């Protein structure tokens, strides 16, 4: 039986026809610069990266030295046909994002008690936010464009969706189990969703809560890592790609949160040891790490939307060896996104945050899995570390090693389903012994917040596979001077805006500040088409 490719779309006359991708979006702008050249297939740019090196003089004074580096960037303009394989496809997020893309593709509208709703991609940074391109030279007004059109990106309407789940329900049944979407919408995509069935997956019971056993009826043989599991997943990816005529497949983990894996020398500390550990069936290799290894070996980018340490050192080394992209961890959807924005604001306003009480309860299967202490611990870590960089950066407020009290509590309350209740209190010291207390009650419809992030993670990851760089060498007679183009580092830290615990190349700092994360992504994309970073200085409105 052909793997679970994108099912044919039932056309209006009841026959079925495969979905024809939308025509490629015309590029919204062109860059008029001697440093940017357009060919049919590529955008080639010469970019001057400017930063400031800090050293210390003998008398202890800081010395700031501007530094610039010349890069060449190359962007492939042709948008490929993209397949997305979700691990945990039958879950709340997987079924919701699938139904959402089908609905957007068909421009569906549906009735609710508040009236008619129409499909949208709200909550997606790429599809529903804008970036400043520049200033209108006549009016002086900002010109803002859709983030999605800063570079020639794929469109989620064209994604071909598939994936795996340990639960054998088809996607229509999964959508019903999730209890996220309105029946009037579900019924319009039910037929297509019913034709989609997750591939059987690997299940190593010790990594997720015991309360997940009931749904585990769609399994590959074997309850611990083995080469056969890696090979089966690689075969699944290859089949999905060929059956659907795809140019590219991206694999994304939206399955249950696993417990952390112990990092063991000789087992998962290097790429070679990890591959050997899988061959040996080592019980400390998790399903998510097996999926990551299989994706890396198959050349498919792998993104981890959950908080566990999927990317053990051996997996990171393997990705680097294979020049395969990886990214993670843990979608940053509601409570934590709010936290990272609020903490960024408070600390950068010179307000000394001294306590963060972060409680939530939810009633979906994710909450059920997190009711088990070892799985909760994975989430507690990712939800707690999100303030570290902002605190450490403000030595005016915090001494070395000083930080706010921070507690994270998650309770499983089935009655509220996917509609998580987040209750936070931020307590801060202000001027002359005063205090500020901020109390937030934030109902996060978790899957409707996470689904657009899945789309953004796929869009940005796919875009990064079409961007390359090299250090600029003025064209010389000796062509040996002209260097080869390179990929970005295998660990895609540009994904950090969508993630609670951003994975960064080993030895590089983690940035959790939401504003910095968005600016970094915006300015990397601007650099790819030879544009300067957006500084918002608007000197043209100040110096005249």
Ligand X SMILES: O=P([O-])([O-])O[C@@H]1[C@@H](O)[C@H](O)[C@@H](O)[C@H](O)[C@@H]1O
Decide if residue 133 touches ligand NAD (CB under 6 A).
no
Decide if residue 456 touches ligand NAD (CB under 6 A).
no
Residue numbers 231-260 binding ligand NAD by CB under 6 A: 254-257
Is the distance from CB of 117 to CB of 100 less than 8 angstroms? no
Smallest distance, Å, CB 94 to ligand NAD?
Answer: 6
- Residue with Cβ nearer ligand X (446 or 462): 446
Choose, by CB under 6 A, the member of 73, 159, 203, 412 that binds ligand NAD.
Answer: 203
- Residue with Cβ nearer ligand X (148 or 339): 339
| Catalytic-residue membership of 420 | yes
Helix boundaries (H) for 396-483: 446-464
Residue 428 binds which entry of ligand NAD, ligand X, none, CB below 5-8 Å type-dependent:
none
Measured between alpha carbons, how far is 196 from 192 in angstroms, rounded to an integer? 7
| Catalytic-residue membership of 500 | yes
Residue 195 binds which entry of ligand NAD, ligand X, none, CB below 5-8 Å type-dependent:
none
User: 352-362 and 405-412 as β-strands: parallel, antiparallel, unpaired?
Assistant: parallel
Is the distance from CB of 508 to CB of 389 less than 8 angstroms? no
Q: What is the DSSP letter of 392?
A: H
- Residue with Cβ nearer ligand X (232 or 451): 451
Of 72, 165, 236, 330, which one is the catalytic site residue? 330
Residue 87 binds which entry of ligand X, ligand NAD, none, CB below 5-8 Å type-dependent:
ligand NAD
Residue 203 binds which entry of ligand NAD, ligand X, none, CB below 5-8 Å type-dependent:
ligand NAD
Q: Output the CA–CA distances (angstroms, integers) from residue 321 to 126, 237, 252, in the order listed.
A: 30, 20, 20
Measured between alpha carbons, how far is 270 from 491 in angstroms, rounded to an integer? 16
Residues forming beta bridges with residue 87, ordered by sequence position: 164, 253
As given in the structure block, the two tokens for residue 96 are 């919701």
Stretch that binds ligand NAD, among 91-99, 146-154, 315-323, 465-473 (CB under 6 A): 91-99
Smallest distance, Å, CB 250 to ligand X?
Answer: 21
As given in the structure block, the two tokens for residue 350 are 């010179």
Contacts of 185 (CB under 8 A, 6+ apart): 99, 103, 108, 110, 117
Q: Which residues would be at the binding site for ligand X (CB under 6 A)? A: 332-337, 360, 362, 366-367, 370, 379, 383, 410, 420, 422, 444, 446, 500
- Residue with Cβ nearer ligand X (379 or 406): 379
- Residue with Cβ nearer ligand NAD (327 or 530): 327
- Strands (DSSP E) along 119-188, which ranges? 130-135, 142-146, 160-164
Decide if residue 162 touches ligand NAD (CB under 6 A).
no
Of 197, 339, 352, 379, which one is the catalytic site residue? 379
| Catalytic-residue membership of 379 | yes
| First-to-last C-alpha distance (Å) of the chain | 71
As given in the structure block, the two tokens for residue 427 are 């307590």
Decide if residue 124 touches ligand NAD (CB under 6 A).
no
Measured between alpha carbons, how far is 375 from 365 in angstroms, rounded to an integer? 12
Choose, by CB under 6 A, the member of 98, 167, 232, 468 that binds ligand NAD.
Answer: 167
Stretch that binds ligand NAD, among 28-36, 85-93, 154-162, 387-395 (CB under 6 A): 85-93
As given in the structure block, the two tokens for residue 452 are 């657009």
| Catalytic-residue membership of 368 | no
Measured between alpha carbons, how far is 102 from 339 in angstroms, rounded to an integer? 32
Handedness of CA 315, 229, 202, 237 (dihedral sign): positive
- Residue nearest to ligand NAD as judged by C-beta position: 91
Stretch that binds ligand NAD, among 22-30, 92-100, 430-438, 469-477 (CB under 6 A): 92-100
**What is the Cα 227 distance to its own chain's centre?**
28
Choose, by CB under 6 A, the member of 188, 201, 244, 295 that binds ligand NAD.
Answer: 201
Stretch that binds ligand NAD, among 26-34, 163-171, 389-397, 432-440 (CB under 6 A): 163-171
Is the distance from CB of 366 to CB of 417 less than 8 angstroms? no
Smallest distance, Å, CB 541 to ligand NAD?
Answer: 40
Measured between alpha carbons, how far is 438 from 428 in angstroms, rounded to an integer? 8
- Residue with Cβ nearer ligand NAD (241 or 332): 332
Decide if residue 45 touches ligand NAD (CB under 6 A).
no
**Cα 309-315-317 angle, rounded to 5 deg:** 130
Choose, by CB under 6 A, the member of 93, 309, 490, 493 that binds ligand NAD.
Answer: 93
Measured between alpha carbons, how far is 379 from 375 in angstroms, rounded to an integer? 7
As given in the structure block, the two tokens for residue 51 are 């930063």
Handedness of CA 14, 17, 18, 23 (dihedral sign): negative
Residue 148 binds which entry of ligand NAD, ligand X, none, CB below 5-8 Å type-dependent:
none
Measured between alpha carbons, how far is 221 from 338 in angstroms, rounded to an integer? 42
Smallest distance, Å, CB 233 to ligand NAD?
Answer: 10
Residue 3 binds which entry of ligand NAD, ligand X, none, CB below 5-8 Å type-dependent:
none
Residue numbers 362-391 binding ligand NAD by CB under 6 A: 364-366, 369
User: 352-362 and 419-429 as β-strands: parallel, antiparallel, unpaired?
Assistant: antiparallel
What residue ranges bind ligand NAD (CB under 6 A)?
A: 87-88, 90-94, 164-167, 201-203, 208, 215, 254-257, 287, 305-306, 330-331, 333, 364-366, 369, 446-447, 449-450
Active-site positions? 330, 379, 420, 500
């Amino acid at each position: 039986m052909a793997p679970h490719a994108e099912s044919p779309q039932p056309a209006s006359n009841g026959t079925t026809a495969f979905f024809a991708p939308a025509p490629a979006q015309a590029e919204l702008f062109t860059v008029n610069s001697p440093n940017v050249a357009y060919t049919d297939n590529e955008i080639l740019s010469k970019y001057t990266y400017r930063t400031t090196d800090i050293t210390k003089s003998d008398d202890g004074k800081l010395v700031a030295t501007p530094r610039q580096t010349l890069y060449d960037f190359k962007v492939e303009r042709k948008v490929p046909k993209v397949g997305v394989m979700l691990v945990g496809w039958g879950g709340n997020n997987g079924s919701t994002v699938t139904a959402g893309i089908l609905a957007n593709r068909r421009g569906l509208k549906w009735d609710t008690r508040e009236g008619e709703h129409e499909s949208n991609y709200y909550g997606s940074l790429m599809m529903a936010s804008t970036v400043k391109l520049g200033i209108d030279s006549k009016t002086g007004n900002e010109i803002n464009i859709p983030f999605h059109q800063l570079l020639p990106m794929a469109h989620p309407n064209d994604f071909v969706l598939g994936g795996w789940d340990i639960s054998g329900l088809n996607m229509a049944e999964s959508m019903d189990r999730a209890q996220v979407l309105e029946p009037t919408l579900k019924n319009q995509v039910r037929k297509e969703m019913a034709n989609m069935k997750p591939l059987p997956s690997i299940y190593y019971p010790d990594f997720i809560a015991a309360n997940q056993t009931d749904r585990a009826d769609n399994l590959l043989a074997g309850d611990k890592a083995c080469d056969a599991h890696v090979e089966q997943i690689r075969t699944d990816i290859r089949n999905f790609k060929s059956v659907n005529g795809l140019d590219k497949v991206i694999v994304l983990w939206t399955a249950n949160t696993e417990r952390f894996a112990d990092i063991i020398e000789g087992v998962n500390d290097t790429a070679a040891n990890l591959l050997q550990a899988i061959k040996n069936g080592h019980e400390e290799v998790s399903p998510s790490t097996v999926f990551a290894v299989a994706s890396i070996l198959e050349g498919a980018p792998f993104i981890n939307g959950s908080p566990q340490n999927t990317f053990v050192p051996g997996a990171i080394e393997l990705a680097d060896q294979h020049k395969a992209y990886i990214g993670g961890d843990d979608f940053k959807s509601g409570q934590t996104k709010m936290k990272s924005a609020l903490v960024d604001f408070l600390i950068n306003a010179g307000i000394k945050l001294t306590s963060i009480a972060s409680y939530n309860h939810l009633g979906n299967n994710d909450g059920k899995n997190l009711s088990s202490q070892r799985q909760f611990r994975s989430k507690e870590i990712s939800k707690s570390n999100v303030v570290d960089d902002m605190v450490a950066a403000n030595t005016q407020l915090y001494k070395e090693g000083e930080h706010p009290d921070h507690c994270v509590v998650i309770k499983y309350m089935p009655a509220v389903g996917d509609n998580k209740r987040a209750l936070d209190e931020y307590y801060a010291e202000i001027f002359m012994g005063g205090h500020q207390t901020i109390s937030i009650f934030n109902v996060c419809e978790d899957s409707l917040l996470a689904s657009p992030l899945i789309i953004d993670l796929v869009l940005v990851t796919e875009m990064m596979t079409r961007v390359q760089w090299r250090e600029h060498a003025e064209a010389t007679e000796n062509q040996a001077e002209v260097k080869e183009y390179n990929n970005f580092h295998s660990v895609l830290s540009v994904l950090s805006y969508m993630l609670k615990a951003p994975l960064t190349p080993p030895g590089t700092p983690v940035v959790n500040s939401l504003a910095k994360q968005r600016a970094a992504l915006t300015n990397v994309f601007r650099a790819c088409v030879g544009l300067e970073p957006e500084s918002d200085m608007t000197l043209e409105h100040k110096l005249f």
